[in-house]
Structure 1
Amino acid sequence: MEKNINKRHKSLWKSVMEDLNGQLDNFKYGDRFYTIADICRKYGVSQITAVKALSELEQQGLVQKIRRRGTIVTARKGSGRLWLIIPGVGGVEKSLYRSVVWMKIYQGLVSQAAKIGFEFCGPISDANLTSLSLSGDKKAGFFVIRNLEPRIKGFLQEYSLPCVLLHPDIEDADTCMVKVNRKRGGFLATEHLAGLGHKRIGLMIGSITSAPYLPRFQGYQQALRRAGLKFDWSLVKETSGFDPAEDSYALDQILAKPDPPTAFFAANYSRALNLLQYCQLRKIRVPENLSIAAYDNFPEMSISQPPLTTIETNLEEVGATGVNLMAALMRGERLQPEVVVETELVVRASARPLKA
């Protein structure tokens, strides 16, 4: 008898859950969903059954319980179709996977799109945009990573299609953007080294006049000022970051100084790995003889020897935030022109207090 009751109870909550799932199309993203009491009244079921049905919807990512707001709809069928535009003719897959930056943002896009009910149609080359069937499709949205080129912007404006620019190097005043706080990243890395007692902190960076690196350079300078340390141009080396020999030459120059730095901030992952390799080849012990803080918390950073203290740029969050902005754009909401995703310091074993 007890077995039959359990079987009937299980069947009942599933039936309620399936019916509730079918009603999600009547709600907008962010709407308040039925309460437990609502479900009990609507279906004439017990509180246990209502809780089980609602919990199952939450586990599927369709609704979410938020304190002081109740249960909120976070996904529904048919929210729209999304594309990530890749500049350049052909080679979409190669372009997308050419960097960890793109891949992390892409993962955030795909994951969040699935959670809130968008159909993510994948990356598309800008050369293939005109082949899309968009006539009358008001639920199509597009993302661009880094830079919104004029020909892409022209296409989107011609069809009045919403676009969100992700992690831009060049900002666009007419487009919603999700930015990483690069300046704070440079500040946090340098502040950490200064807090460990280092007074001579070198900087390996790309061109400080370029959009990606200028904010990191400004953060570096700000942290030095905050710590009461004098800025020294001779400790700053601008390199391409992709040629270990070039970085080695720059490091030879800095470390040959009478008062060389005791720590370095490497402003991206390739310079950090080149710096670490340089130290290994020259028997410079990290962090005993030289402390390092890096930028970009890529997988290599946690498995290097020693594991590198670095800046987490939260690129998956950039992608996820972009999807949420797109949902708001499609609902016709007025939005701030930009959303800033904060960077964080990840402390590992590559930096230590300066010995007196």
Structure 2
Amino acid sequence: MTHTVRSGRTAERPVVERATIVDVARTAGVSVSTVSKVINGRDGVAAETYDRVMSVVADLGYESSLVASSLRRRSTNVVGVLVPQFEPFSTELLKGISTATEGTGYELLAYSGDLSHNEIGWERRSLSRLAGTLIDGAVIVAPTAAVTTATIPVVAIDPHTGRTGPSTVEVDNIGGARAATEHLIELGHTRIAHIRGRTDLVSAEQREQGYREALQAAGLPYDPELVRVGGYRAVETTDAAHELLSLPNRPSAIFAANDLSAIRVLEVAAELGLRVPEDLSVVGFDNVPEAANATPALTTVSQPMHQIGAEAIRILMELLNGESKEEHLRLPATMVIRASTAPFVG
């Protein structure tokens, strides 16, 4: 059904109204209670009537209220994916989550928190809005606080507090960062800077820890002057890169805590007239699709992002089905060597 909205300054346009259960009943020639029985799978409806009602439901595009249905059934058959923002890392996770959800009988609701003011605890607020009425369980990406009081099953990816609270899935951040730094050391670099991630995330601390461990194992001193906070954000990374590359004795290599920061380093280096990798080697972390398309192609630590998303859904499904309890999974990271790193030439 449509009607037209008129305005003195805009062209006429059709507005589609949502079909109601009354519309379905009227069109099918049955009572509202009969339609209710059909869409809720209750007995007492003849096969011919059932088929007629379902045909009308399809023709009108009728959908019962998810909230109302959930209140009746105490279940929505929807799982939520809560992310701080939609960026390359979370998008790749969503691909793995989506694929793994197929065939489970559950639908996905992707929900982004408002981090415009660096809000801490956004996931708790989001869960309180969604839990029980819109979603039966949730996968939360990079939560800023531990979610210990959730009323529904929860799995955290890249958790703020590490392996505490609900079930978690993460990558080997320490091992991956150590491998990135070791790669630069093997190329002969000794002044290696690090642009670290969000100060509130354990994963960022772990990547800095891996960087430090690799330096120590190689007998290289840790220099605080060569470490800056990028926070996984372009503005902060830009400032950090400018500061590092403007030092009197600038670093010959930079390990950034994620790919988007590393790509921003490539851009800042070009702005300053530095050639990568001839004048500066750069390594990232994540292996998002943008890394391979950077100029030059970015050497990085690869997270199995699709697998991380799939494992999070597997654990969540088991929790929803009562098949398992808390689980903490850590997956390996691997080096992907491309064109942004080269041997140090003094």
**1:225/1:82 Cα in 2 relative to 1: closer, same or farther (>3 Å)?**
farther
**One-letter amino acid matched to 1:105:** L
The question of whether the paired residues in 2 share the 8 Å contact of 1:247 and 1:274 is answered with: no
Indicate which of 85, 91, 106 corresponds to 1:103: 91
The question of whether the paired residues in 1 share the 8 Å contact of 2:144 and 2:160 is answered with: no
Which piece of structure 1 moves more, 167-176 or 193-202?
167-176
Equivalent position of 2:35 in the other structure: none
Equivalent position of 1:142 in the other structure: 138
Equivalent position of 1:120 in the other structure: 107
Percentage of pairs with the same residue? 26
Q: Distance in 2 between matches of 1:300 and 1:238?
A: 22
**One-letter amino acid matched to 1:131:** T
Indicate which of 329, 332, 341 corresponds to 1:342: 332
Q: For 1:257-268, what aligned pairs fall within 5 Å after superposition?
A: 257=249, 260-268=250-258
Listed one character per residue, the Cα deviations across residues 21-67 of structure 1 (whole Å, up to 9, x for unaligned) are xxxxxxxxxxxxxxxxxxxxxxxxxxxxxxxxxxxxxxxxxxxxxxx
Q: Distance in 1 between matches of 2:172 and 2:280?
A: 27
Listed one character per residue, the Cα deviations across residues 94-151 of structure 1 (whole Å, up to 9, x for unaligned) are x67622222222211110111x53422323553243434x8xxxxx44322222867x
Indicate which of 129, 132, 135 corresponds to 2:131: 129
**One-letter amino acid matched to 2:92:** K
Q: Distance in 2 between matches of 1:275 and 1:261?
A: 12
Equivalent position of 1:170 in the other structure: 161
Equivalent position of 2:70 in the other structure: none
TM-score, length of structure 1 as denominator length: 0.63
Equivalent position of 1:321 in the other structure: 311
Unaligned runs of 5+ in 2: 1-75, 112-125
Q: Distance in 2 between matches of 1:197 and 1:271?
A: 23
Listed one character per residue, the Cα deviations across residues 160-218 of structure 1 (whole Å, up to 9, x for unaligned) are x4322222123463411111222122111101111111122111223667423110100
**1:208/1:193 Cα in 2 relative to 1: closer, same or farther (>3 Å)?**
farther
Q: Distance in 1 between matches of 2:324 and 2:241?
A: 50
The question of whether the paired residues in 2 share the 8 Å contact of 1:143 and 1:163 is answered with: yes
**1:290/1:83 Cα in 2 relative to 1: closer, same or farther (>3 Å)?**
same
The question of whether the paired residues in 1 share the 8 Å contact of 2:238 and 2:268 is answered with: no
Unaligned runs of 5+ in 1: 1-79, 87-94, 135-139
Which piece of structure 1 moves more, 303-312 or 334-343?
334-343
Q: Do residues 190 (structure 1) and 177 (structure 2) align? A: no
**1:209/1:117 Cα in 2 relative to 1: closer, same or farther (>3 Å)?**
closer
TM-score, length of structure 2 as denominator length: 0.65
Q: Distance in 1 between matches of 2:165 and 2:204?
A: 23
**One-letter amino acid matched to 1:206:** G
Indicate which of 150, 154, 172 corresponds to 1:181: 172
- Name the structure with the higher helix share: 1
Equivalent position of 1:57 in the other structure: none
CA RMSD, 1 decimal: 2.8
**Cα distance, 1:319 vs structure 2:** 1.0
